[in-house]
Amino acid sequence: MQTEQQLKELVKQKYSEIALQDKEANQSSCCGAGGCSTEVYNIMNDDYTSLKGYNADADLGLGCGLPTQFAKIKKGDTVIDLGSGAGNDAFIARAETGESGKVIGIDFTPAMINKARANAEKLGYNNVEFRQGDIEKMPVMANVVDVIVSNCVLNLVPNKEAVIKEIYRVLKPGGHFSISDIVLEGTLPASIRQAAEMYAGCVSGAIQKQAYLEVIKGNGFANMTIQKEKRIHIPDDILANYLSAEELKEFRSGNTGIYSITVYAEKPTEKVACCEPGCCN
């Protein structure tokens, strides 16, 4: 069993490699021109190309949803994108918040930060910045953010509750998040759970759907809703790297489900209680 730090280093190494490739190379990296399925990193991605603010150079095909589409971002909002990668969701959020708002992308992979900053500079955006940091300890002050988005990232973090606590800390009272992520129903085979590539590919690090939602509720968030849900199908030629033919057949006939969900929740508005007569004037 790998430690939390070992898992983080695994993710950092893999996503550093991805950052140095273009989208086409990432999508064909399973077997080049051989025509087999793509890597597990790319099979969950939704189509961003019709969204305002989309930039092809920032789209590495690594997401599992469209959180910015559901995030209810308003003009002038301050938005954080957790695990911002090459900047795709941050730039789409910027199209929603406008020039009067601000977007902060946070990623702990230096190569991704460099790529995102280069993309922002090419686009001439002066209200989008990218900060290198751990989303379990965000380089952001408390109570300053209106909206948080994230696309297929929390499943890569060993301590998911720490991230949810950080989201609560940095959001303003009344602020909210919209996060797309991978969750499970049922149990993955041990060979998949223990595979490093399947962890970095957003599968084996996912937790049970109900447990995921309970972490959000248990940390004080209100008005939680699932905005979108889709089942993820992992092609046989990817699973065959980890399962025998018999195990694959058993997996397909079982009750295990891998899902992408987009979850919305709000930080309640805090009420300041009067301590004594006259103190609230």
Query: Computed from CA positions of residues 10, 265, 46, 255, in that sequence, does the dihedral angle turn out positive or negative?
Result: positive
Confidence of residue 238 (pLDDT cuts 50, 70, 90): confident
Give me the architecture of the 4-260 domain, per CATH.
3-Layer(aba) Sandwich (3.40)
Query: Which has the closest alpha carbon to 164: 183, 145, 146, 179?
Result: 179
- How confident is the model at residue 201, as a pLDDT? 61
Give residue 199's pLDDT band: very low, low, confident or very high (50, 70, 90).
low
- 158, with CB counted inside 10 A (0-12, 13-18, 19+), is middle
Mean pLDDT computed over every residue of the chain: 83
Q: Which residue has the higher pLDDT, 63 or 231?
A: 231
Asked whether the predicted pLDDT for residue 274 surpasses 70, the reply is: no
Q: What is the predicted pLDDT for the residue at 102?
A: 98
**Segments in 171-220 forming alpha helices (H):** 190-193, 196-200, 209-218
User: What confidence score (pLDDT) does residue 183 get?
Assistant: 92
Instruction: Name which residue leads in pLDDT, 15 or 139.
Output: 139
**pLDDT tens digit string along 37-49?**
445 545 556 677 7
pLDDT band at 281 (very low <50, low <70, confident <90, very high): very low
Q: Taking each helix axis from N to C terminus, what angle separates 88-97 and 110-123, rounded to the nearest 10 degrees?
A: 40
pLDDT band at 32 (very low <50, low <70, confident <90, very high): very low
Instruction: Over range 233-257, report the average pLDDT.
Output: 87
Q: Average pLDDT for residues 71-94, to the nearest whole number?
A: 96
- d(CA 49, CA 63) in angstroms, rounded, equals 13
pLDDT digits (tens, 9 = 90+) for 103-123: 999 998 899 999 999 999 999
The whole-angstrom distance between residue 213's C-alpha and the CA centroid of its chain comes to: 15
**Tokens coding 58:** 């920032």
Whole-number pLDDT of residue 16: 77
